[in-house]
Amino acid sequence: MANLPADIEREAEGLAQLRRDLHAHPEMGFEEVRTADIVAQRLQAWGIEVHRGMATTGVIGLVHGRDGGACGRAVALRADMDALPVQEQNQFAHASQHPGTMHACGHDGHTAMLLAAAQHLARTRDFDGTVVLIFQPAEEGRGGAQAMLAEGLFERFPAEAVFGLHNWPGYPVGSLAASAGPVMASANTFCITVLGQGSHAALPHLGLDPVPVACQIVSGLQTIVSRNKRPLDTAVLSVTMVHAGEATNVVPDTCRIEGTVRTFSLAVLDLIERRLGEIAEHTCAAHGLRCEVDFQRRAPPVINHEREAAVAAQVIAELVGPGMARVQEPSMASEDFAFMLLAKAGCYAFIGNGEGDHRHPGHGAGPCMLHNPSYDFNDALIPLGATYWVRLAQTWLAEPRS
């Protein structure tokens, strides 16, 4: 592991206990009341200026450097706080105490890492300018980043750049990765409702059966990725739900098809949305049926900016060395940090969470992967993640203003 500040290593166990407490008390998006209280109380105890209430449960901390922030420069660091609607399968002592809710993505660890960095920054003030600490609610599909931006996040708390960090299972512990360009995909959902005409299942000729038409649409949708887009353009289209009928002897009136689309390019997304509608409408028309298509663009792709990614990569290389400084492998998962990168230049990095060997006895049978009910954040990352945040802020504020 990299050479870490002594005070960060000294405080690591206490922050790990805090992380496990957050894991045991997960809260869904815009409901992170307890979590926000803990974050605000810690920041205030360390002499950090605190602002609350943005996007309902968001917390902003302002750490002013040795100049009291007089130089006017600022950099923003963001961590997410919310949990997922997942029933945890782990049985260790810090497993979720809230049935049906779980920190299955490591936001408890992200919060702990940024708190650890905040404590060090407040103790040392070894920089000029201001570090803006963003503890964001509701990353998991509930619009937390959009809500903060709509309420004037960067107008109220100006910053030259914004940076994010996510734990990444499969990357070895001690590794970090930051690269320019697309690193996470856009998130989009679709719902196609095939409108037929119900009948007795023994007399299908008296109705318009939506089920076989829906099946043809599902098959047709797969040709968009395999035959309509360029092979070099990355995209995923997954049908994840098909719902129809309530009885075995009744042809239903409707059949609903739902799923997700992920792309790195808005041009590819435009193509998929257009072709999805055409396939659904024309397939239905060929059988004398109609359909309704609802396509929702939930989040754009996460695209790291060149200069900000270069600074992050430089910090990583100096912190962990070339052997553990990785090139980010783009993921088809999504992140609402993408909205912040549309509003402000920045970079979203990954920190290795390992293969799951860190989990306490009593973990579930599943893999330690994101959004899995057997997942748990690796507390060994807290000192490294905190040090990355500290050195990134110091490096950025020491660089000439762009």
- The tens digit of pLDDT for each residue in 22-71 reads 999 999 999 999 999 999 999 999 999 999 999 999 999 999 999 999 99
Mean pLDDT score, 238-250: 98
Q: What is the DSSP string of 56-81?
A: TTEEEEEEE-TTTTTT--EEEEEEE-
The answer on 223 and 346 residing in a single domain is no
Residue 75 lies in a domain: yes
Determine the structural domain holding residue 375 and report its residue range: 6-184+301-398
> Which pLDDT value is given to residue 1?
55
- Given a contact cutoff of 8 angstroms between Cβ atoms, the answer to whether 142 and 294 are in contact is no
Tokens 């397939």 found at: 283
CA–chain centroid gap for 147, Å, is: 15
Mean pLDDT score, 361-379: 97
Residue 1 lies in a domain: no
Distance CA 328, CA 313 (A): 10
Residues 6+ apart with CB under 8 A from 222: 237
366 pLDDT band (50/70/90 cuts)?
very high
> Which pLDDT value is given to residue 2?
67
Side-chain half-sphere CA neighbours of 190 within 13 A: 27
The answer on 165 and 42 residing in a single domain is yes
> Which pLDDT value is given to residue 3?
83
The dihedrals phi and psi of 203, each to the nearest 5 degrees, come to -130, 55
401 pLDDT band (50/70/90 cuts)?
confident
- Given a contact cutoff of 8 angstroms between Cβ atoms, the answer to whether 23 and 96 are in contact is yes
For residue 210, give the nearest of 292, 278, 287, 295 by alpha carbon. Answer: 287
- Given a contact cutoff of 8 angstroms between Cβ atoms, the answer to whether 147 and 138 are in contact is yes
Average pLDDT over the chain reads 97
Reported pTM: 0.94
pLDDT at 135 over 70: yes
For residue 134, give the nearest of 44, 238, 57 by alpha carbon. Answer: 57
Alpha helices by DSSP H, 192-300: 210-223, 266-286
The answer on 316 and 293 residing in a single domain is no
Distance CA 25, CA 21 (A): 6
The CATH number of the domain where 192 resides is what?
3.30.70.360
Distance (Å) of CA 315 to CA 118, 122, 326, 336, 383: 18, 20, 12, 24, 15
Total count of domains within the chain: 2
Residues 6+ apart with CB under 8 A from 368: 169, 353, 354, 355, 356, 358, 359, 374, 375, 376
The answer on 159 and 197 residing in a single domain is no
The answer on 325 and 277 residing in a single domain is no
Each residue's pLDDT tens digit, 199-233: 999 999 999 999 999 999 999 999 999 999 999 99
The answer on 329 and 256 residing in a single domain is no
The answer on 276 and 164 residing in a single domain is no
The CATH number of the domain where 359 resides is what?
3.40.630.10
The answer on 255 and 241 residing in a single domain is yes
Each residue's pLDDT tens digit, 138-166: 999 999 999 999 999 999 999 999 999 99
The answer on 307 and 336 residing in a single domain is yes
The answer on 273 and 323 residing in a single domain is no
* Residues above pLDDT 70, as percent of the chain: 99
Residues 6+ apart with CB under 8 A from 44: 50
Residue 210 lies in a domain: yes
Tokens 């507390």 found at: 379
337 pLDDT band (50/70/90 cuts)?
very high
317 pLDDT band (50/70/90 cuts)?
very high
Each residue's pLDDT tens digit, 63-73: 999 999 999 99
